Amino acid sequence: MEHKLVSIREKIDQFPMKDVFNMDETELFYRLQADHSLAIKQLEGRKQDKERLTVVICCNEDGSEKIPLWIIGKYAKPRCFKNVNMNSLDCQYRANKKAWMTSVLFDEYVRSFDQMMHGRRVLLVVDNCPAHPRNIEGLRNVELFFLPPNMTSKIQPCDAGIIRAFKMHYHIRFYRKILEGYEVGQTDPGKINVLDAINLAIPAWTMDVRKETIANCFRHCKIRSASDVVGNLDESTFDEETQDLQTMINQCGYRNKMDIDNLMNYPGENEACSEVQSLEDIVRTIIENNAEDDDKDDTVSLEPVTRKEALMASNTLHNFMIQYKNTTPQLLDAIRKESSIRQRGQIFKSKESISLFGRL
């Protein structure tokens, strides 16, 4: 292993930290609840823990850039996407029947990443998965670097804790949504749809996963030879997030709750989520994506919201926040800024509101 690390470091050292990226995909059981009884007892309507998406994670070595998520689902046109402006979401959605990364999607991802890196020379480190083809021609800005087989669990930064951090924050937001659902009287708030999962995943990645966590995971893998960046992963890196997640789970009042390790290493979620497609598979996928999804998609479409309803809701939020005991002047200032933005016909688009409201 050591001699392979030498060649890896020689390559990594040719690029500054901000220009070394690692990309990996992971399965996400987006409805998974930390209750053993939900997973063991085959209760009607309670098999939601096996619903999954594949999430593609990519970031650079110093943590300064987190590439927008790619999310792969089973349905090309879920009902919950109706009336939704998909361009407003800070992610890309793709679909195939297994919700897996495929060689075709990997090719598309890398070409999209190459365009995003316009004018730069960057290194994209990926694992040696068969669904990651090597012969992608025409890349102008990106050099692909494939890690040796059977080493990715030890030297790939995404596997060293970045994906775990993302899932930790996703679950925190998921359980918060469950608690809020019970508060407003929902009968089964844990049965979220793909759009709900996307709206939880995006801030979990863009807002919650810290720059320091990413940098620590890269350092832990020791894929750069410089002595000042070599070190071990601080065990306290996830302590705060673990405590937050444990608090959320405790508040849900599960009868047979899982511990955090079982939840984060749930059987099946960390298995292979990619495949190499034959020409027949590719054609079949194209046909399926152009066709209407079948009735297995049990979600409902999002009800259209008028501008009047949005303005009324915004005023209600303002009135709530000036009564809320934990409201800060900074948060109230962000709401007031939104008032002037709304007068120009834009609602909740400022960076201040996205950042502050995401922490509530």
- Predicted pLDDT of residue 41: 45
- Checking if the pLDDT of 4 tops 50, the result is yes
- pLDDT tens-digit readout, 201-234: 999 999 999 999 999 999 999 999 874 444 555 5
- Checking if the pLDDT of 348 tops 50, the result is no
Residue partners of 52: CB distance under 8 A and separation at least 6:
27, 28, 29, 30, 99, 269
- pLDDT tens-digit readout, 267-297: 777 666 665 655 566 556 555 655 555 545 6
- Predicted pLDDT of residue 43: 46
Residues of the chain with CATH 3.30.420: 2-264
Edge-first strand order for the sheet with 53-60 is 91-95, 69-73, 53-60, 20-28, 122-126, 142-146
CATH-assigned architecture of domain 2-264: 2-Layer Sandwich (3.30)
Residue 315 pLDDT level (bands cut at 50, 70, 90):
confident
Higher pLDDT, 307 or 55: 55
What whole-number percentage of the chain has pLDDT above 90?
50
Higher pLDDT, 117 or 350: 117
> In the predicted model, what is the mean pLDDT of residues 167-180?
95
> How high is the mean pLDDT of the chain?
83
Higher pLDDT, 78 or 314: 78
- Predicted pLDDT of residue 253: 86
Residue partners of 69: CB distance under 8 A and separation at least 6:
55, 56, 57, 90, 91, 92, 201, 202, 205
Higher pLDDT, 102 or 236: 102
- Predicted pLDDT of residue 320: 82
- Predicted pLDDT of residue 292: 58
